[in-house]
Amino acid sequence: MKARLVQRHITNNVSCQICGAESETIIHSLFKCSAAQEIWDHSDLLEYLVDAHTESFVARWNWLYGKVEGKVLRRMTTLMWVAWRCENLIFFENEHPNVVMLAADYCRLVDDYMEYAKKVFFPATPNYYWQQQFWKCPPRGCIKANVDAYVPAVDKAGLGVVLRDEAGSIVLTTTKMAELATPECVEAQAMRYALSITKRIGYINLWIVSDVVNVIKTITLESHGRSLIHLI
C-alpha cells in the first residue's frame, strides 16, 4: 500500500496508481479502489460495511470480528483477498481480470475446501453401538485378548491386541496396519489378528473381548451373509 510505503520513506507518492485516489491505504485497496468496489457492489455483504470503521484496517477488522458470524466473516475475508489479487494482476502483470467472476470462483473454492475439511478433519461419529466393558482376569488355563481398531478418515487403519494371562499380567502386545474399511470390518480384522497371534504363541484357549456390539453379535449368533464382515 502506498500509504505504508510513504511511512517507510520508500516513496513520496501516496496516490493510487489504479484509480487515482489521493491516498492508497489498506482500506482503500481492499474496499474502495475501482476493482475492489466492483467486487463488493456485486456481493450481498455491503450492508455489513455501512457503519464499519475507516480509520485503520485493524480497527475495521476488530469491528467486523465482533459484529458478523464466522461464515460471513470468512466470505468477507475471501473478497478482501480477491481485491488484493486483482490489484496485483492489474498493476504488476498488466492484466484486466473479470473481478466479479474471479471473486465468485474463489468463493466457490473456499466453500469447497470447507466442505472437504469438515469431512476430513471433523469426520462424523460412526453410527454403531459400543458395549461398556470392565476388565477382569480370564479363567485358569485361558488367555484373554483385548482388541481394538483405529479407523482414521484417510490412510491405513490400525489393529491392536493385548494378551493377558490368568493373573492379569501382560503376555504380549502388538499392532498391525490394515486396509481402511468400515469400523466393524476393521474391528473384525483385529479379532482375527488376535486369534492368529494367540495360535502362533501356543495358546489354544482364548477369551477375546471387543467393544463393538455388531461384531460380537455376528460371531456369537454365527450369522452368515455376503457382506465383508461375514467374510472376515
* Per-residue pLDDT tens over the stretch 13-51: 888 888 988 888 999 999 999 989 999 999 999 999 988
Residue 136 forms part of a structural domain: no
Closest CA to 214 of 193, 192, 189, 183: 183
Q: Which domain holds residue 175?
A: 143-231
Residues 80-109: pLDDT tens digits? 999 999 999 998 899 999 999 999 999 999
Q: Are residues 201 and 103 in the same domain?
A: no
Distance of CA 222 to the CA centre of its chain: 39
90, 121, 152: which is the final residue of a domain? 121
Residue ranges in the chain assigned as alpha helix (H): 2-7, 26-27, 34-41, 57-67, 70-92, 99-121, 183-200, 213-220, 228-231
Contact 56, 27 (CB under 8 A): yes
Total domains in the fold of the chain: 2
Does residue 129 lie in a domain region? no
* Separation of alpha carbons 179 and 198, rounded Å: 22
Q: Is the pLDDT of residue 220 over 90?
A: no
Quick one: pLDDT at residue 123?
Answer: 60
Assign 130 a pLDDT band (cuts: 50, 70, 90). Answer: very low
- Read off the CATH number of the domain in which 166 is found: 3.30.420.10
User: Which residues have a Cβ under 8 Å from the Cβ of 165 and sit 6 or more positions away?
Assistant: 138, 143, 144, 171
The grid coordinates of residue 12 equal 513520496
For residues 191 and 194, what is the distance between their CA atoms, to the nearest angstrom?
5
**Sequence-distant (≥ 6) Cβ neighbours of residue 4 within 8 angstroms:** 26
Q: Which residue has the higher pLDDT, 7 or 215?
A: 215
Length of the chain: 232
